């Protein structure tokens, strides 16, 4: 077989092994070893030498070879023949499909300007160059609308930075040294499973494990204590903890005086934020809050571990800004196994330069607006938007399933005057609305570097096989589109190895390719703020954030009830959570594949016995879950995992799995977070009625 010109991997022979790294939107970024015989992958196993994932893959990726060779996989371009959303397409050649896209995009720009073109991409493939590299240059050349915001992740860093001046946190693997582990809003055993052995190591040394989560998850079931606040009330709980720490003189005054500012204002601010005050908001009794605060101050070292879940509220950034104050008060940053562990992207920033993918000069003379990816539905249906979006490119995501306000997105995608291009591996809910679909490679078919956001290891991904059919990496798609558009700038055609090399000049790429991974070149004991060194000019963290005043936000950590949430609702409303609960798929990936979705059953709604009784609902009844955004018909599961007033619909199922052809995100709120560009999925109210 002849390898395509863009293919940079070795020629496969039988048998060979190739080191790679999982690309999924997961903090673990596991190392793997692919075995290839006669040009085909016959086995995929975890890399036993990887210090974090340690040879284990999850139930999703254990069957990744089946995904690669799935008979439903898209292996050539397709052009729509039926109504939008029907999924009716015909096969097309690359030349025909590229020519159609070029013609349509040129027409849109000629009539409406470059801003009428919008890119939408997410983290379906998290690799350094396949997630986003040449696309930045391509859309700059078009003068297209810029995508802003983030479905998850960015709000965490922005929130922490307001207090610390930096998004830096503790190394999550240092949790093995903790004596108190507080897992706050993260279902570690499911969504960060390779961290759990490090928590167990801490437990073997006598550590206490506490989970704070509105759902009794499998992680909560394995903890020593589970604290179950009402959704979106965690900030009140933290403020009450601060009250106890200050009231009972459990503060490290030396650390506070040396490395923070605004303590006196904080002390006055939380003077009336008693455990009793918080109890009425959170639904957690005052004695539990007292005990939690005392343990946090006295059981040392104590680590707060959090991830992206808590950001999905209107006060998402304030959650992390407030949490960042707790280790300042106790001086927890001084201790290995202390502080706050979150995403670790800040560690990679000095060593991986994403700015090399920009080519701003390509957009000289062009006006480029910015629109939030979280408001895709609004952007596609807003009659006042000038100019309207007339061409949409989607890759690395399935927004009809994964983005809130999904029914509004559907209405936008149904527009006959919208030309939509999707790069995908399968005919997803979103791809069904495309005019042209291009076939994308899988992680076993292209080269990349994967930056973990759950450990300090960066992984190499060697392509194990030649791309199947006519599939191409995302980078090659942008090169082909640039050529079809008639562009000639060399920056638009840079090859994959050059892109990787330009962004990783400070990393030992030879060692990474040899071993499949390297650790970022930072200290073995990651104590980023042991001696202060916070990211502000004076090196001190801030309890008072004066800059928030200009945004109309409180300068001190403050609890505000969400506009759409239990605290602001009448008694007939229920707060909807859309958690990740299934072991065999991640986000919207895998749920439609054999061995995954079929083994997880079907979508359902969970509700408490009290809420079911009020509505005369019994186990397995068919019910309607609805609000003014949409409606779902689901089977009811009555559970003790949720408090009264809270219901849950698992996230990730496609429309075809629902009787009503909608998804969980047909119901969810697309309200943006207070700052940081996130979105408040979990501030969603619904009602449930029997059918």
pLDDT in the model for residue 524: 79
Predicted pLDDT at 570: 59
Q: What average pLDDT is seen over the chain?
A: 95
Q: Is the CB of residue 35 less than 8 Å from the CB of residue 61?
A: no
Question: CA distances (Å), 651 to each of 79, 207, 238, in order?
Answer: 30, 32, 28
Domain ranges of the chain: 79-149+349-439+469-505, 154-342+542-551, 566-690
Question: Would the pLDDT of 582 be above 70?
Answer: yes
Average pLDDT estimate for 635-657? 94
Q: In this structure, are residues 421 and 435 in contact, taking their beta carbons and an 8 Å threshold?
A: yes
Stretch 594-601: mean pLDDT, rounded? 88
The Cβ-side half-sphere exposure at 260, using a 13 Å CA radius, reads 30
Give which of 316, 270, 381 is closest to 673, Cα–Cα. Answer: 316
d(CA 434, CA 124): 18
What's the fold here for domain 566-690? Barwin-like endoglucanases (2.40.40)
Confidence of residue 557 (pLDDT cuts 50, 70, 90): very high
| Neighbour order of strands in the sheet with 16-21 | 16-21, 31-37, 40-46
Residues 668 and 313: their CA atoms lie apart, in Å, by 11
Q: What is the pLDDT of residue 585?
A: 86
647: closest CA among 672, 680, 623? 623
Give the pLDDT of residue 568: 66
Residues β-bridged to residue 637 = 606
How many alpha carbons fall within 13 Å on the CB side of residue 622?
5
Instruction: Quote the CA–CA distance of 360 and 137 in Å, as a whole number.
Output: 8
Q: Select from 92, 95, 59 the least CA-distant residue to 78.
A: 92
CA–CA gap between residue 285 and residue 301 (Å, rounded)? 25
Q: pLDDT of 209-222, one tens digit each?
A: 999 999 999 999 99
Tokens of 435: 């005019």
**Beta pairing class for 117-121 and 225-227:** unpaired
Instruction: Give the pLDDT band of residue 571 (cuts 50, 70, 90).
Output: low
The C-alpha atoms of residue 53 and residue 195 are separated, in whole angstroms, by 8
Are the beta carbons of 577 and 643 closer than 8 angstroms? no
End-to-end CA gap in the chain: 57
- State pLDDT tens for residues 158-208: 999 999 999 999 999 999 999 999 999 999 999 999 999 999 999 999 999
**And the tokens for 192?**
């960060």
Neighbours of 205 (CB within 10 A): 12
What kind and span of H or E run contains 639? Answer: strand 631-639
Distance CA 311, CA 313 (A): 6
The CATH code of the domain at 154-342+542-551 is: 3.40.228.10
Q: What pLDDT score was predicted for residue 359?
A: 92
* Fold entry, domain 79-149+349-439+469-505: Rossmann fold (3.40.50)
Phi/psi of residue 442, nearest 5 degrees: -100, 175
Q: What is the pLDDT of residues 43-98, one digit of tens each?
A: 999 999 999 999 999 999 999 999 999 999 999 999 999 999 999 999 999 999 99
Q: 243: closest CA among 268, 218, 222, 224?
A: 268
Q: pLDDT above 90 covers what percent of the chain?
A: 92
CA 118 – CA 443 distance, rounded (Å): 26
What pLDDT, on a 0 to 100 scale, did the predictor assign at position 260?
Answer: 98
What tokens were used for 257? 């005086």
3-state secondary structure of 491: helix
Taking the C-alpha atoms of residue 246 and residue 334, their distance in angstroms, rounded to an integer, is 19
Confidence of residue 394 (pLDDT cuts 50, 70, 90): very high
Taking a C-beta distance cutoff of 8 angstroms, is the pair 402, 663 a contact?
no
- Given the structure tokens 């999850």, which residue do they identify? 58
Q: What is the pLDDT of residue 145?
A: 98
What is the pLDDT at residue 655? Answer: 86
pLDDT grade, residue 1 (50/70/90)?
very low
What lies within 8 Å, CB to CB, of 415 at 6+ separation is 380
Q: What is the pLDDT of residues 7-45, one digit of tens each?
A: 445 444 559 999 999 999 999 999 999 999 999 999 999
- Percent of the chain past pLDDT 70, that is, above it, reads 97
Cis omega before residue 238 (within 30°)? no
User: What pLDDT digit, counting tens, does each position of 123-140 carry?
Assistant: 999 999 999 999 999 999
- Residue 120, SS3 per DSSP: strand
What is the band of 119 on the pLDDT scale with cuts at 50, 70, 90? very high
Tens-place pLDDT, residues 268-323: 999 999 999 999 999 999 999 999 999 999 999 999 999 999 999 999 999 999 99
The DSSP code for 542 is: E
Tell me the two tokens of residue 125. Answer: 């493939």
Q: What tokens were used for 174?
A: 């240092």
- Which residues, including other chains, have CB under 8 Å from residue 361's CB and lie 6 or more apart? none
Q: Which residues contact 620 (CB under 8 A, 6 or more apart)?
A: 635, 636, 637
Q: State which H helix or E strand residue 483 sits in.
A: helix 474-484
Whether 102 contacts 484, CB under 8 Å: yes
pLDDT in the model for residue 174: 97
Maximum distance among all Cα pairs of the chain, rounded to whole angstroms: 73
3-class state of residue 236 by DSSP: helix
Backbone torsions φ then ψ of 648, nearest 5 degrees: -140, 135
Residue 147: CB atoms within 10 A of its CB come to: 22
Instruction: Provide the pLDDT confidence category of residue 535 given band limits of 50, 70 and 90.
Output: very high
Contacts of 352 (CB under 8 A, 6+ apart): 128, 449, 451, 458, 503, 504, 507
What residues contact residue 177 under an 8 Å CB cut-off, 6+ apart?
202, 301, 336, 337
């Amino acid at each position: 077989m002849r390898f395509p010109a863009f293919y940079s991997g070795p020629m496969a022979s039988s048998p060979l092994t190739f080191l790679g790294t999982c690309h999924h939107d997961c903090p673990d970024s596991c190392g793997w070893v692919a075995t290839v015989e006669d040009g085909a992958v016959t086995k995929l196993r975890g890399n036993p030498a990887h210090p974090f994932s340690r040879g284990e893959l999850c139930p999703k990726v254990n069957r990744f070879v089946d995904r690669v060779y799935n008979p439903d996989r898209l292996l050539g371009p397709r052009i729509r023949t039926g109504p939008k959303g029907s999924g009716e397409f015909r096969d097309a050649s690359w030349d025909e499909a590229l020519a159609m896209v070029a013609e349509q995009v040129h027409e849109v720009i000629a009539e409406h300007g470059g801003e009428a073109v919008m890119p939408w991409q997410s983290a379906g493939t998290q690799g350094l160059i396949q997630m986003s590299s040449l696309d930045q240059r391509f859309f700059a050349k078009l003068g297209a609308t810029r995508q802003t915001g983030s479905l998850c992740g960015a709000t965490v860093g922005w929130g922490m930075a307001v207090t610390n001046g930096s998004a830096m946190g503790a190394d999550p693997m240092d949790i093995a040294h903790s004596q108190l582990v507080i897992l706050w809003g993260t279902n570690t055993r499911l969504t960060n499973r390779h961290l759990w052995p490090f928590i167990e190591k801490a437990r073997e040394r006598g550590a206490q494990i506490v989970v704070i989560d509105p759902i009794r998850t499998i992680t909560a079931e394995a903890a020593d204590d589970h604290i179950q606040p009402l959704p979106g009330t965690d900030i009140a709980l933290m403020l009450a903890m601060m009250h106890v720490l200050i009231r009972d003189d459990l503060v490290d005054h030396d650390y506070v005086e040396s490395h923070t500012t605004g303590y006196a204002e904080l002390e006055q601010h939380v003077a009336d934020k008693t455990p009793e005050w918080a109890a009425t908001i959170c639904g957690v009794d005052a004695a539990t809050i007292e005990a939690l605060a005392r343990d946090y101050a006295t059981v040392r070292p104590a680590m707060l571990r959090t991830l992206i879940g808590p950001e999905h509220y209107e006060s998402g950034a304030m959650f992390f800004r407030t949490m960042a104050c707790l280790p300042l008060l106790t001086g927890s940053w001084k201790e290995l196994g202390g502080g706050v562990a979150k995403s670790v992207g800040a560690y990679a920033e000095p060593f991986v330069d994403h700015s090399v993918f920009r080519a701003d000069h390509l957009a000289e003379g062009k006006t480029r607006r910015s629109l939030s990816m979280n408001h895709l539905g609004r952007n596609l249906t807003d009659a006042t938007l000038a100019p309207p979006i007339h061409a949409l490119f989607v890759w690395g995501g399935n927004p009809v399933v994964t983005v809130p306000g999904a029914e509004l997105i559907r209405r936008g995608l149904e527009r006959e005057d919208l030309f939509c291009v999707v790069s995908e591996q399968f005919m997803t809910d979103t791809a069904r609305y495309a005019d042209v679909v291009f076939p994308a490679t899988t992680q076993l078919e292209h080269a990349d570097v994967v930056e973990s956001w759950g450990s300090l290891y960066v992984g190499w991904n060697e392509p194990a096989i030649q791309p199947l059919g006519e599939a191409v990496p995302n980078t090659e798609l942008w090169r082909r589109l640039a050529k079809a558009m008639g562009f000639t700038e060399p920056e638009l055609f840079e090859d994959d190895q050059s892109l990787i090399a330009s962004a990783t000049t400070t990393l030992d790429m030879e060692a990474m390719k040899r071993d499949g991974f390297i650790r970022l070149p930072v200290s073995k004991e990651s104590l980023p703020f042991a001696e202060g060194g916070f990211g502000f000019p004076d090196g001190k963290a801030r309890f008072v954030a004066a800059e928030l005043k200009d945004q109309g936000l409180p300068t001190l950590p403050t609890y505000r009830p969400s506009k759409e949430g239990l605290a602001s609702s009448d008694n007939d409303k229920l707060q909807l959570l859309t958690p990740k609960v299934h072991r065999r798929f991640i986000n919207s990936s895998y749920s439609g594949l054999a061995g995954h979705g079929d083994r997880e059953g079907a979508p359902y709604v969970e509700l408490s016995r009290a809420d079911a009784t009020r509505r005369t609902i019994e186990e397995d009844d068919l019910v309607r879950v609805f609000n003014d955004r949409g409606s779902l018909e689901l089977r009811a599961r009555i559970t003790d995992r949720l408090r009264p007033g809270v219901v849950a619909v698992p996230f990730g199922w496609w429309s075809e799995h629902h009787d009503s052809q909608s998804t969980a995100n047909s119901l969810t709120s697309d309200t943006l977070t207070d700052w940081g560009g996130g979105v408040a999925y979990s501030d969603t109210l619904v009602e449930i009625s029997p059918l």
